[in-house]
Amino acid sequence: EVQLVESGGGLVQPGGSLRLSCAASGFTFSSYWMHWVRQAPGKGLVWVSGIKNGGSRTSYADSVKGRFTISRDNAKNTLYLQMNSLRADDTAVYYCAKGGIQPNWGQGTLVTVSS
Amino acid sequence: QSVLTQPPSASGTPGQRVTISCSGSSSNIGSNTVNWYQQLPGTAPNLLIYSADQRPSGVPDRFSGSKSGTSASLAISGLQSEDEADYYCAAWDDSLNGWVFGGGTTLTVL
């Protein structure tokens, strides 16, 4: 059974940093694109970033480009999202998602950016 | 503003059939597959349809999907009260090199 467990969310001040992690199990992690998707309170789903199987290729939404960095450790089956220069509009539940024909999603971790 | 266009709301009575549309472009739906997600209040999105018309195991056959050109549709037949949820379409976008989503459709069972 595919399991994706996010961690690292919390309350951070504007301009601060946070690193999210996503522990994966139940599938061959190194064979899939992995993604981060976020959902602001009461709003829809927005793709944030994706990383290819081996980590050689990454892509970002314009809203986070230059501030967020996605990475992965295939030996530890873990996906990361380093978030810097956080703003109030980054407040959201952040979901980790496995790519492929049948995507799987984690339960999400809440990031709140507020003073 | 979302890249894929969905109606913000839909409704039906128990037993009815409802459809939700999703419109995109040649860089996303027109050249890639479409997935549909159901999101119940306070929970993570759940994959309902993948590859435009395939159901994951455990999803009732009341749910069906289709795709034509740059548009896709989700149909729910035999509507039930537990189908009240938000529904999102999604597709890979070749220009963005990432997923794009519709704005979501809130389904109300009257």
Q: What is the pLDDT of residues A73-93, one digit of tens each?
A: 999 999 999 999 999 999 999
On whether any CB of chain A is under 8 Å from the CB of B35, the answer is yes
pLDDT tens string A49-69: 999 999 899 999 999 999 999
pLDDT in the model for residue B34: 97
Any A CB within 8 A of B87 CB = no
pLDDT tens by residue, A18-40: 999 999 999 999 999 999 999 99
Say yes or no: A105 contacts chain B, CB-CB below 8 A. Answer: yes
The residue behind tokens 């992995």 is A34
pLDDT of B91 reads 97
- Read out DSSP for A48-115? EEEE-TTSS-EEE-TTTTTTEEEEEETTTTEEEEEE-S--GGG-EEEEEEE-SSS-EE---EEEEE--
Share of chain A above pLDDT 70, in %: 100
Decide if pLDDT at B105 tops 90: yes
pLDDT score of B74 more than 90:
yes
Residue pair A62/A83 in contact (Cβ under 8 Å)? The answer is no
Query: pLDDT tens for residues A101-114?
Result: 999 999 999 999 99
> What confidence score (pLDDT) does residue B1 get?
83
**Looking at chain A, which residue has its C-alpha nearest residue B104?**
A44
| Yes or no, beta carbons of A45 and B51 under 8 Å apart | no
With CB atoms and an 8 Å threshold, state whether B2 touches A44: yes
pLDDT tens profile B22-36:
999 999 999 999 999
Q: How far apart are CA A7 and CA A110, in angstroms?
A: 9
Cβ neighbours of A101 in B, within 8 Å: 33, 50-51
Q: Is the predicted pLDDT of residue B52 greater than 90, yes or no?
A: yes
Query: Using the beta-carbon criterion (under 8 Å), do B90 and A49 form an inter-chain contact?
Result: no
Inter-chain touch A50–B56, beta carbons under 8 Å: no
Place of tokens 């509507």: B79
Q: Work out the pLDDT band at B101, boundaries 50, 70, 90.
A: very high
